[in-house]
């Protein structure tokens, strides 16, 4: 079995943008060494950055999604 040569930042984790429901990935920002997520749709302003781990970025994305869902209830 061979290992993939892809960087971890290229892996899709199955998380969706809280605003437009498009597939969103969490990746490492090489300029700061922190992790970030951002919506791939250029018209959507959703972004999160400055997380010390990939896990914390995903948790923040989930929390943001929960808050967005509660706004429109």
Instruction: Determine contact, residues 15/23, Cβ cutoff 8 Å.
Output: yes
32 located within any domain: yes
- For 16-36, what is each residue's pLDDT tens digit? 888 888 888 889 999 999 999
H/E element, 69: helix 54-71
Report helix, strand and coil shares of the chain as percent, to nearest 5. 30, 25, 50
pLDDT for 32 equals: 92
33 lies in which domain range? Answer: 13-71
Tokens 């959703």 — which residue?
Answer: 46
Whether 3 is covered by a domain: the verdict is no
Tokens of 19: 């605003």
Who's near 60: CB < 8 A, 6+ residues apart? 37, 48, 51
Task: Say what the pLDDT of residue 64 is.
Answer: 85
pTM: 0.68
7: in domain: no
Number of domains in the chain: 1
């Amino acid at each position: 079995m061979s290992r993939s040569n892809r960087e971890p930042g290229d892996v899709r984790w199955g998380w969706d943008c809280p605003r437009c429901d498009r597939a969103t990935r969490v990746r490492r920002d090489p300029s700061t060494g922190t992790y970030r997520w951002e919506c791939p749709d250029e018209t959507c302003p959703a972004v999160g950055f400055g997380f010390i781990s990939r896990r914390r970025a995903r948790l923040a994305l989930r929390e943001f999604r929960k808050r967005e869902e509660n706004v429109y209830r």
